[in-house]
């Protein structure tokens, strides 16, 4: 795990307004700045291990990581995708119950856990923001249970692609309904996120491609020609406005 202390300032941080520090004023930011350090994690490398002492909490600055749990017989479930601005870790507890693994190269803005706990007590804006983010994550996790519990394979893949399209997608400047993004996961990881086998995940991607719901370039590039069509496939009757 390469660690690079930098002099990067919070002011220039690309996720300054979305991360756990979003509500901070200048003084609070200065406090965080004193205890933060950056770490760069190589693709495929572990960030935290389940049940092992956890000295830091962190915000994802760039890259992507997954939270996963593996049963004794090897069955694996990915229970969260961590993207820039997401918060990793469990204040006031020594361990977490899942592994955190980098998918791509990940840059973390880390805080010593104990120091962060002090910050939480002293700077209400950090605590309030973390509570708000955690409530959102909880809602998202509960929403996802519908996908895992009730949706067919095609719907699951569609729902997953829709989530990625919303968070990672770049709209076509001329056709805003047309969105492009790069999959940060392999087919196997997609399957592990969706509770499917990699063959089923692959088959459904192929089916969506055949039916014109998506287009693909290489292994990772995905183009969604019509986001509304994908929403229908994903049984997403959300009328657009995802609140933050």
* Binding-site ranges for a copy of itself (CB under 8 A): 67, 69, 71-73, 75-77, 79-80, 90-93, 96-98, 120-121, 124, 127-128, 130-132, 134-135, 137-139, 141-146, 148-151, 194-195, 235, 237, 243
Q: What is the end-to-end Cα distance of the chain in Å, rounded?
A: 32
Structure tokens at 238: 């959300």
Cross-strand partners of 108 = 39, 60
Residue 72 binds which of DNA, a copy of itself, none (CB < 5-8 A, kind-dependent): a copy of itself
Question: Binding string to DNA for residues 183 to 212, with x set by CB under 7 A, is what?
Answer: ---xxx------xxxxxx-xx-xx------
Query: Quick one: 42 or 141, whose CB is closer to a copy of itself?
Result: 141
Give the residue, chosen from 138, 146, 152, 175, that forms a contact with DNA under the rule CB under 7 A: 152
Instruction: Quote the CA–CA distance of 26 and 123 in Å, as a whole number.
Output: 12
Which residue is associated with the tokens 């997403």?
236
CB of 97 to a copy of itself, least distance (A): 6
Binder of residue 42, out of DNA, a copy of itself, none (CB less than 5 to 8 A by kind) = none
Nearer to DNA (CB atom), residue 55 or residue 209: 209
114 binds, among a copy of itself, DNA, none (CB under 5 to 8 A by kind): none
Q: Give bridge partners of residue 106 from the DSSP assignment.
A: 41
Number of residues that bind DNA (CB under 7 A): 20
- Of 170 and 206, which has the nearer Cβ to DNA? 206
CB 70 within 8 A of CB 76: yes
Task: Give the separation between CA 82 and CA 69, rounded to whole angstroms.
Answer: 15
Which tokens belong to 135? Answer: 């409530």
User: Is residue 168 a contact partner of residue 221, using CB atoms and an 8 Å limit?
Assistant: no
Our CB check for a copy of itself shows the closer of 99 and 107 to be 99
Residue 5: Cβ within 10 Å count: 9
- Contact partners, residue 164, CB within 8 Å, separation at least 6: 181, 183, 184, 222
Applying CB under 7 A, the residues found at the interface with DNA are 152-154, 186-188, 195-200, 202-203, 205-206, 216, 218-220
């Amino acid at each position: 795990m390469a660690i690079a202390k930098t002099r990067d300032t919070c002011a220039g941080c690309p996720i300054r307004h979305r991360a756990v520090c979003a509500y901070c004023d200048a003084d609070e930011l200065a406090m965080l700045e004193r205890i933060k350090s950056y770490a760069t994690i190589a693709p495929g490398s572990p960030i935290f291990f389940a049940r092992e002492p956890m000295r830091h909490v962190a915000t994802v600055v760039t890259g992507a990581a997954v939270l996963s749990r593996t049963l004794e017989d090897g069955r694996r479930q990915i229970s969260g995708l961590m993207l820039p601005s997401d918060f990793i870790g469990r204040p006031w507890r020594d361990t977490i119950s899942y592994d955190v693994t980098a998918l791509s190269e990940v840059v973390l803005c880390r805080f010593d856990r104990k120091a962060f706990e002090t910050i939480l007590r002293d700077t209400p804006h950090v605590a309030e923001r973390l509570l708000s983010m955690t409530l959102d994550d909880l809602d998202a996790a509960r929403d996802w249970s519908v996908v895992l519990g009730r949706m067919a394979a095609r719907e699951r893949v569609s729902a997953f692609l829709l989530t990625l399209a919303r968070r990672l997608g770049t709209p076509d400047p001329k056709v805003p309904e047309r969105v492009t993004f790069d999959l940060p996961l392999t087919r196997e990881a997609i399957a592990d996120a969706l509770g499917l086998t990699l063959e089923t995940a692959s088959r459904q991607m192929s089916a969506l491609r055949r039916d014109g719901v998506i287009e693909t370039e290489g292994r990772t590039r995905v183009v969604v020609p019509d986001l509304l069509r994908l929403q229908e496939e994903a049984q997403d009757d959300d009328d657009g406005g995802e609140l933050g």
